Amino acid sequence: MNVRHARSSYLVSSVIFSFFGLVLFGLAFYIFDKLTPGDLVKEILDDHNVAAAIVIAALIIGISIIVGLAIH
């Protein structure tokens, strides 16, 4: 296997896993939003609710760790 083929293979797998991670994050956010009372997007963007933003930040970090370890 030459270097050019190896680089393109790594690039393709990186794009696929990035897409997979984004889909998983979107799904996790959707499920979390449905399980919690109220609309999280409205709470964060319109009402400037810092506590809701911190909870979503924790969700982002947690899902990132899980997806990163699953891919690795």
Query: pLDDT tens-digit profile of 10-30?
Result: 888 888 888 888 898 899 889
- Whole-prediction pTM: 0.71
Q: State pLDDT tens for residues 53-63.
A: 999 999 889 98
pLDDT at 72: 67
pLDDT at 64: 84
pLDDT at 2: 67
Break the chain into its structural domains and give their ranges.
21-71
Q: 3-state SS string over 24-40?
A: HHHHHHHHHHHHCCCCH
